Amino acid sequence: VEFLYCDLASMKSIRQFVQQFRAKNCPLHVLVNNAGVMLVPERKTEDGFEEHFGLNYLGHFLLTNLLLDTLKQSGTHSHNARIITVSSATHYVGKLHLNDLQSRCSYSPHGAYAQSKLALVLFTYQLQHLLTANGSHVTANVVDPGVVNTELYKHVFWVVKVVKWMTAWLFFKTPEEGASTTIYAAVSPEMEGAGGCYLYNEERTKSADVAYDEELQRRLWTESCKMVGISDEASRLP
């Protein structure tokens, strides 16, 4: 195991990480997009993005796009490279505000978090569409890990923290249990060649209806390219 530092809240850090990784000339068979924050107070990343949207979504969007060439070179007809993005059931109540992706008009920690998780689902579906259109041996799927007992809940109201402390053993998954669907998506033979799926408890299920809006997927993709400073056309190259 070798560690390379990457701060998903920093576009500069992401680009430096990709440069370091590429310099190793290693294949890339599995990319898991799993970093995230939840219900943080209103604040910005060093690039000026609202933190939920900047870290949870844009960081993964840029990282994935910068690694696409390596993923495409690593995948084969019989063993596709795999991209797994971790979203949340919260995306079901999320709304994507294309005219206010930074939540500047009215900030709500819950709304911003849900929007970032919906964006990840829309991104995954559009990414799979582009990969299929290019004939790439890469698949993209999105995972809902369930309610997992981690430090992600440190910004919730204190009453919720108390309830979590009292009931976690009964209602929350352990981190190992929470990782099971991600691992399934990454290595299971059953998922070979399968892309554009929303997975929960190692099963394909239906995401929010709005996530299947192809026009919304395309518009978010185009806007995201502008925000992180990459070419929309370059990201579509086979």
Instruction: Indicate which residues carry an active-site annotation.
Output: 113
Query: 125: part of which helix (H) or strand (E)?
Result: helix 109-133
Under 8 Å between Cβ of 74 and 89: no
Number of helices (H), then strands (E), belonging to the chain: the values are: 7, 5
DSSP string, 78-109: SS-EEEEEE--GGGGG----TT-TT--SS--H
Element (H or E) spanning 141, and its range?
strand 138-144
The first and second tokens of residue 7, run together, are 């701060």
- Do residues 140 and 196 lie in contact, with contact meaning Cβ atoms separated by under 8 Å? yes
Q: Distance between CA atoms of 115 and 96, rounded to whole angstroms? A: 6
What is the end-to-end Cα distance of the chain in Å, rounded?
30
Contact between residue 90 and residue 156 where contact means Cβ atoms under 8 Å apart = no
